[in-house]
C-alpha cells in the first residue's frame, strides 16, 4: 500500500530573458515542511545542458547567487569546455554558511565543490577540461565560471596536476596542453579580483584527508594516490610539506629498479611503473594473466595487451589464483615504496587514495604484510598505519577549498 507524502509541493516555473540561441529555465519549488526553496537553472545552447540546484532561505529573498552567476557568465563560444557544465550541480546550499570553493583540474574534467564551514560539500559542479589550441585561456574561463556557479564569495583554491611553484605558477603538467610557466594563480586572481590559492592536486587530496578525512589529528602523514600513475602529498610536523620549489610529493618517480621499464619522465624503473593502475596491468601481462594454456586470451578482449587492472581485481574477488598472485606482487611493489618513504620521512600514517582505492579489500592485507617485512628496523618502531582514503574523487577539490584557510605556518602565501 502506498503511503501519501507528508510534504505538499509548491511548484513555480518561470522563463526568464535569454541570450539569443539559449533557453534559460528558472524553476523554483518549495517543501513547506522544510521551509526551503530550491532553484533549478537550465541553459541549453545547442543541446548542451547546464543545471544548478540551490536552496534559498525562508525569506524567499533575492534570486540565488547561482542564478546571478549564470546571467553574468559569458560562456565564450570558442571555448568548448566553458560552454556549460556536463555534470550539473548537485547539493543543497545552506545560505547561512560561509562557502569555500575548491576546484580540481583533472585531465578530463574540472570538478568544483563548495564546502560549508563545517566541512560538508554543499554544492558540486564540473566542466570538461579544455584541450587543444588556446586551452589555457579556456581553462581560465572554466575556473571563473565554475567559481561563480558555485557561489564564489572570495575564497577559492585550485588543484592542478603537475609542478606548481609557491607563487602559483604551473611549470609543467603532463595532462594539460601547452603548459609552460602558466601563471594560473595570478591570472585567476586578476579575473576574480581577489587572492586565489593554487596547489598540486595530490597535495590538495592530502590536505582533504588530513583536515577532514582518514588522517584527522595526525601530524606526520603521507598520502599516496594510486591511479594511472602515482601522486603524493605530505604533512610533516603538522605542516604541509611543499619543498623549496613547491614540487615536493612526486613520490611516483622514485626509482625502485634502474633497469625497469621506461617511465614517461624519461628514466627507468620509477615506482609508478609498478605500483599504479598501469603497473598492475603490466604485472598481470608479465605474469601471463588472462591467457589460456594454448595462448588464447580469455580476459580483456582479443589480446593480452588489453588486460587492465580491473580485470585482475574482478578475477581476484572471484578467487582466481593467478589474479591473487598478481595482486600480491603488486602489493609488494606498493609496500616497497612505503618502506622507502618511511626511511626518508618516518610518518605516523599512510593514506592510500586514487582509483585503486576501490580495491582496498584486496590490497590492505598484503600491503601491510609486505610493508612489515620490508620495513627497516621494524623491531624499533611501530609500523606506520596504512589506511585507505575516506574521500573519493572529490578529495582534490575538497582539499583545494581548504587551501585559503590554512595558516601561514602551514602553507606560505603564494601572493598575487
Enumerate binding residues for Zn ion (CB under 5 A).
253, 263, 265, 270
Minimum CB distance to Zn ion, residue 179 (Å): 18
Closer of 169 and 263 to Zn ion (Cβ)? 263
**CA torsion sign, 285 to 288 to 289 to 295?**
positive
Minimum CB distance to Zn ion, residue 305 (Å): 21
3-state SS, one letter per residue, for 32-65: CCCCEEEEEEEECCCCCCEEEEEEECCCCCCCCH
**Element (H or E) spanning 198, and its range?**
strand 197-200
Minimum CB distance to Zn ion, residue 215 (Å): 26
In this structure, what C-alpha cell is assigned to residue 80? 568548448
Closer of 54 and 278 to Zn ion (Cβ)? 278
**CA torsion sign, 62 to 7 to 124 to 45?**
negative
- HSE at residue 187, side-chain half, CA atoms within 13 A, is 16
Nearest C-alpha neighbor of 56 from the set 124, 125, 151, 144: 151
Closer of 253 and 390 to Zn ion (Cβ)? 253
What are the Cα distances from residue 150, in Å, to 84, 125, 358?
A: 13, 7, 28
Closer of 241 and 265 to Zn ion (Cβ)? 265
Minimum CB distance to Zn ion, residue 175 (Å): 15
Minimum CB distance to Zn ion, residue 270 (Å): 3
Minimum CB distance to Zn ion, residue 200 (Å): 16
Closer of 176 and 270 to Zn ion (Cβ)? 270
End-to-end Cα spacing for the chain: 62
Closer of 23 and 267 to Zn ion (Cβ)? 267
Amino acid at each position: 500500500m502506498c503511503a501519501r507524502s507528508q510534504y505538499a509541493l509548491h511548484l513555480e516555473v518561470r522563463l526568464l530573458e535569454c541570450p539569443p540561441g539559449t533557453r534559460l529555465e528558472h524553476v523554483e519549488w518549495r517543501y513547506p515542511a522544510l521551509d526551503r526553496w530550491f532553484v533549478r537553472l537550465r541553459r541549453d545552447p545547442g543541446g548542451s545542458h547546464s543545471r544548478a540546484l540551490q536552496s534559498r532561505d525562508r525569506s524567499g529573498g533575492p534570486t540565488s547567487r547561482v542564478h546571478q552567476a549564470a546571467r553574468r557568465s559569458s560562456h565564450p563560444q570558442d571555448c568548448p569546455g566553458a560552454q556549460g557544465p556536463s555534470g550539473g550541480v548537485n547539493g543543497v546550499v545552506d545560505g547561512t554558511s560561509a562557502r569555500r570553493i575548491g576546484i580540481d583540474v583533472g585531465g578530463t574534467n574540472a570538478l568544483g565543490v563548495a564546502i560549508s564551514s563545517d566541512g560538508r560539500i554543499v554544492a558540486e559542479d564540473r566542466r570538461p577540461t579544455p584541450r587543444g589550441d588556446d586551452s589555457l585561456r579556456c581553462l581560465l574561463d572554466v575556473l571563473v565560471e565554475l567559481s561563480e556557479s558555485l557561489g564564489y564569495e572570495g575564497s577559492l583554491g585550485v588543484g592542478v596536476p603537475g609542478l606548481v611553484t609557491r607563487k602559483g605558477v604551473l611549470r609543467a603538467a603532463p595532462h594539460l596542453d601547452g603548459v609552460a610557466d602558466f601563471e594560473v594563480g595570478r591570472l585567476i586572481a586578476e579575473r576574480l579580483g581577489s587572492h586565489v590559492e593554487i596547489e598540486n592536486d595530490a597535495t590538495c587530496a592530502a590536505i582533504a584527508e588530513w583536515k577532514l578525512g582518514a588522517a584527522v589529528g595526525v601530524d606526520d602523514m603521507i598520502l599516496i594516490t594510486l591511479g594511472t600513475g602515482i601522486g603524493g602529498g605530505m604533512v610533516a610536523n603538522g605542516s604541509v610539506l611543499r619543498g623549496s620549489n613547491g614540487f615536493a610529493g612526486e613520490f611516483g618517480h622514485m626509482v625502485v629498479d634502474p633497469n625497469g621499464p621506461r617511465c614517461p619522465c624519461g628514466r627507468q624503473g620509477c615506482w609508478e611503473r609498478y605500483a599504479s593502475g598501469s603497473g598492475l596491468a603490466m604485472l598481470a601481462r608479465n605474469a601471463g594473466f588472462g591467457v589460456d594454456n594454448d595462448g588464447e586470451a580469455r580476459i580483456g578482449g582479443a589480446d593480452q595487451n588489453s588486460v587492465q587492472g580491473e580485470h585482475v581485481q574482478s578475477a581476484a574477488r572471484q578467487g582466481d589464483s593467478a589474479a591473487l598472485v598478481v595482486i600480491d606482487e603488486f602489493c609488494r611493489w606498493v609496500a616497497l615504496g612505503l618502506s622507502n618513504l618511511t626511511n626518508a620521512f618516518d610518518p605516523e600514517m599512510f593514506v592510500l587514495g586514487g582509483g585503486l582505492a576501490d580495491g582496498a579489500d584486496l590490497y590492505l592485507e598484503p600491503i601491510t604484510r609486505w610493508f612489515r617485512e620490508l620495513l627497516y628496523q621494524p623491531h624499533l618502531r611501530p609500523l606506520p598505519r596504512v589506511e585507505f582514503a575516506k574521500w573519493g574523487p572529490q578529495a582534490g577539490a575538497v582539499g583545494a577549498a581548504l587551501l585559503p584557510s590554512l595558516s601561514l605556518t602551514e602553507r606560505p602565501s603564494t601572493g598575487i
